[in-house]
Amino acid sequence: MAKRIDITGEKYGKLTVLKREPTSVHGTSFWLCLCECGKETKTYLGHLRSGHTTSCGCSAFRYEPTHGQSRSKIYTTWQNIVQRCTNTNHPEYKYWGGRGITIADEYRDFTTFYRDMGGAFEEHSAKHGGRHTTIDRINNDKGYERGNLRWATPTEQNYNRRASRLKEN
């Protein structure tokens, strides 16, 4: 017969093991644990040791948004900028990152981007509407960096394009 393991008193995440519970009719053993929040819970030894269970569940429901913008137009615009400039698997990478357009290191952090561009975005959106507010690089040969960005309507942005060249046969 295998030697019984005693983990009473050991701590796993927010859980402190209190005692081994009686084995179930199916031969499964549980451990009674006390969470830091004060609630008791039962779990398997394997779940404790693997890190699968680290609390009574109180941690799973704590949601603390960092900026509260995750579903906003400005956030999705920022995500698209980052993806087009850095993700070689992005379908439009060849037009941005692939031709040397970069995003400044400071703007890889959304909160910095929002701090610099959020006010102008709100102002432009109020005047032209959210659907008519797009990010525009003032100098199209430079990247997404401080001093080279503005919010523009699609029409304004169309006037600020690289010259298209017709291919002669």
| Mean pLDDT within 56-80 | 81
| Residue (of 124, 127, 126) closest to 135 by Cα position | 124
Average pLDDT for the chain: 89
Query: Considering the chain, what percentage of its residues have pLDDT values greater than 90?
Result: 67
| Mean pLDDT of the 155-161 span | 88
Between 11 and 169, the more confident residue is 11
pLDDT in tens, 119-135: 999 999 999 998 999 99
